[in-house]
Structure 1
Amino acid sequence: MRNPISPHSRYKGLVELPWDHGLPVPDMPPGREWTDAEREQWRQWWSGPQANMWDESFIPTVAVMLTYFSNILDGMATSTHQMEYRHLASSLGLTAEGMKRLGWAFQGDAQ
């Protein structure tokens, strides 16, 4: 179970994100048909170091970001989709700016 904000969490101050957190990739939410490319991107995001800090409550947010991502790649995204994608990616720590704001560093980079 992921709970980075628990008072008993091991994450205090600058958080070093392990490259292999060993947490399971959650199932994609129902409600639409996901493409193979979307399933692979989902797996990559949830297997990445930042996902160590996400819990199950992040599933809808990551799914929405994935739909924006797909629309951007397909050339179907509006400027609003692109803006929301950037905001979500930063909020989830998937950008350098977002990681800095959240106080996260990759394991070995936090000197």
Structure 2
Amino acid sequence: MPKMRNPNSPHSRYKGLLELPWDHGLPVPDMPSGREWTEAEREQWRQWWSSPQAAMWDESFIPTVAVMLTYFGKILEGTATSTHQMEYRHLAGALGLTAEGMKRLGWAFQGDAQ
């Protein structure tokens, strides 16, 4: 049986994670103009910008999150190409919205880094 990982080891990749607050208290930015957003997209926008990860984003992330949202809409509609889906996965990781992305960025949810 393999040894259990020790997150307190000096060589642990889990040491020094930045804990993201569950409630960052930041306002949800306005959605970019230029297209009509569906209600599902509007709700997803609110969820992403209310997530703990959004504490690490500033207004420069608005276009990136909006592009990801267009891919999200295409996925929901069933019109997404494999490229759309691949870019969605890439952006989700880059923004820390996946477990792998959070780990790569050195983030953990508040209370999970112990």
- TM interval, shorter chain, is 0.7 to 0.9
SS in 2 for 1:32: coil
For 1:38, give the aligned amino acid.
Answer: E
For 2:110, give the aligned amino acid.
Answer: Q
- Report 1:37-56 matches (<5 A): 37-56=40-59
**Which of residues 58, 61, 65 is equivalent to 2:61?**
58
1:14 is displaced (CA, Å) by 1.8
For 2:55, give the aligned amino acid.
Answer: N
Q: Which has the larger radius of gyration?
A: 2
- For the aligned residue pairs, the C-alpha RMSD in angstroms reads 0.6
Aligned residue pair count: 99
Q: Structure 2: state its 5+ residue gaps.
A: 1-15
Using the aligned pairs only, state the percent identity: 89
TM-score when normalising by structure 2: 0.85
SS in 2 for 1:41: helix
- Report 1:60-79 matches (<5 A): 60-79=63-82
For 2:96, give the aligned amino acid.
Answer: G
Displacement over 3 Å in runs of 4+: none
